[in-house]
Amino acid sequence: MKKVYIQSVASISAQKTFEKDYFLEEIEDYEANVINVINPVYKDYIPPAAARRMAKGIKMGVVASKIALHDAGLESVDAVITGTGMGCVRDSEKFVSAIIDNDEQYLTPTSFIQSTHNTVGGQIALELQCKGYNFTYVHASNSFESALFDAKLQLELNEEKNILIGGVDELGDHTTKINKLINHIKAEAVKSSELLVSNTTGAVYGEGANFFVLSNEKKDTCYAELASVKMFNTLAEEEVLQEFKLFLKENNLKVEDIDLLVLGNNGDIEFDGYYNNLSKEFNNTQQAYYKHLCGEFHTASSFAFWLASKVLKIQSLPEVAKLNQKTIATYKTVLLYNQYRGENHSFTLLKKC
């Protein structure tokens, strides 16, 4: 089977990640329990008339995909695969509100049509005139990893040459209120830099779009090799370490072979124990975290994928992402671990090209 390479990366997040040469040098340190993305100038990528009709998630996805394609030096791809937890939730909220306000009468279908989860992937394909494979995964916090796994299989089997993949989620007012009521969002505002010492339940929620071009052809400009992806629906805290060791064994690696461990700590005192237990096995390994920069959302792990890819290419880890003070001269192997509220666990292994 062929190897899979990350040819380009693009990110729209609560930081200025849409700028090509930016790598977390200047940080927005928020004090909030919900953080929005820093919007690029959408009219630079999408005609204003078209942008006005697009939901925020669609605009983020379309722009991130265009940046990723430009970075890869491509005008189109063979397939588009997206992952999203909530889809275009704002349009869903608009449609449901219209049903209630209008007593289920005189409804226009626009918001309903644009609220489906595959709207982002479909809009990207229309922009690219890509008539190939187009699929959207809605697997909660494993949505991005599912898209990643699908693309990896197709490229390894040489079914496609270049595949655009991405994870995108947007914030909706009503959905945010519900998550606050059920304590999934922190009750109080938290400073980003103090997220892990907040000692409270819930997370700081965010949104974003992160897109990548994957290929089975190695180029001088590629960021990293995608070596392995593994997902689990449910794991007990004590089972995470056991599965992790099996994952390393399957990839002929030992703990000491991992140069960087990227963890999805989100400051939720009830569930960060999953990360802390694994972290103890890596006392001599450099560790990183990222949800204080982008917030928690179903496809937040795609931001970690962006971070790890940049680290392997640039060979530098930004100070703001460091979870401990270990140092390493060369990054060759990076492992990502993510879960959300004890479910949908994933291990992703990247290697230096």
Tell me the pLDDT tens digit for each residue of 81-135.
999 999 888 778 777 877 887 778 877 777 777 778 899 999 999 999 999 999 9
Whether 207 and 242 share a structural domain: no
Whether 81 and 205 share a structural domain: yes
Whether 208 and 237 share a structural domain: no
Look at residue 65 in the predicted model and tell me its pLDDT: 97
Whether 97 and 201 share a structural domain: yes
Look at residue 170 in the predicted model and tell me its pLDDT: 95
Token code pair at residue 72: 């890869």
Express as a percent the part of the chain with pLDDT over 70: 100
Looking at the domain assignment, is residue 322 inside a domain? yes
CA–CA distance, 247 with 256 (Å, rounded to integer): 14
Please identify, among 191, 215, 239, the residue that sits at the C-terminal boundary of a domain.
Answer: 215
Token code pair at residue 32: 């909030």
CATH number for the domain that contains residue 310: 3.40.47.10
Question: Cβ contacts of residue 17 below 8 Å, gap of 6+?
Answer: 11, 24, 306
CA–CA distance, 245 with 256 (Å, rounded to integer): 12
Whether 268 and 241 share a structural domain: yes
Whether 249 and 275 share a structural domain: yes
Mean pLDDT of 160-182: 95
Q: Round the average pLDDT of the chain to a whole number and report it.
A: 94
Whether 244 and 100 share a structural domain: no
Please identify, among 149, 181, 215, the residue that sits at the C-terminal boundary of a domain.
Answer: 215
CA–CA distance, 20 with 124 (Å, rounded to integer): 20
Let me know: does 323 contact 279? Beta carbons within 8 Å: yes
Q: What is the pLDDT of residues 176-220, one digit of tens each?
A: 999 999 999 999 999 999 999 999 999 999 999 999 999 999 999
Looking at the domain assignment, is residue 8 inside a domain? yes
Number of domains making up the chain = 2
CA–CA distance, 66 with 149 (Å, rounded to integer): 22
Whether 95 and 204 share a structural domain: yes
Looking at the domain assignment, is residue 222 inside a domain? no
Between 53 and 80, residue with greater pLDDT: 80
Please identify, among 186, 215, 244, the residue that sits at the C-terminal boundary of a domain.
Answer: 215
Look at residue 303 in the predicted model and tell me its pLDDT: 98
Looking at the domain assignment, is residue 153 inside a domain? yes
CA–CA distance, 25 with 272 (Å, rounded to integer): 26
Query: Residue 40 — very low, low, confident or very high, per pLDDT cuts 50/70/90?
Result: very high
CB neighbours of residue 324 within 10 Å: 15
Whether 71 and 152 share a structural domain: yes
Question: Cβ contacts of residue 10 below 8 Å, gap of 6+?
Answer: 18, 64, 65, 66, 67, 68, 71, 210, 211, 212, 306
- Expressed as residue numbers, the domain containing 250 is 227-351
Looking at the domain assignment, is residue 47 inside a domain? yes
CA–CA distance, 44 with 118 (Å, rounded to integer): 24
Whether 180 and 291 share a structural domain: no
Mean pLDDT of 333-340: 98
275-311 exposure pattern, b = at least 16 Cβ within 10 A, e = fewer:
beebbeebeebbbbbbbbbbbbbbbbbbbbbbbbbbb
Looking at the domain assignment, is residue 221 inside a domain? no
Looking at the domain assignment, is residue 220 inside a domain? no
CA–CA distance, 62 with 130 (Å, rounded to integer): 13
Whether 152 and 254 share a structural domain: no
- Residue 147: pLDDT above 90? yes
**Strand runs labelled E in the chain:** 4-12, 31-32, 79-83, 133-137, 162-169, 190-191, 208-215, 224-234, 260-263, 286-289, 333-340, 343-351
Let me know: does 176 contact 34? Beta carbons within 8 Å: yes
Whether 133 and 247 share a structural domain: no
168-193 exposure pattern, b = at least 16 Cβ within 10 A, e = fewer:
bbbbbeebbeebbeeebbbeeebebe
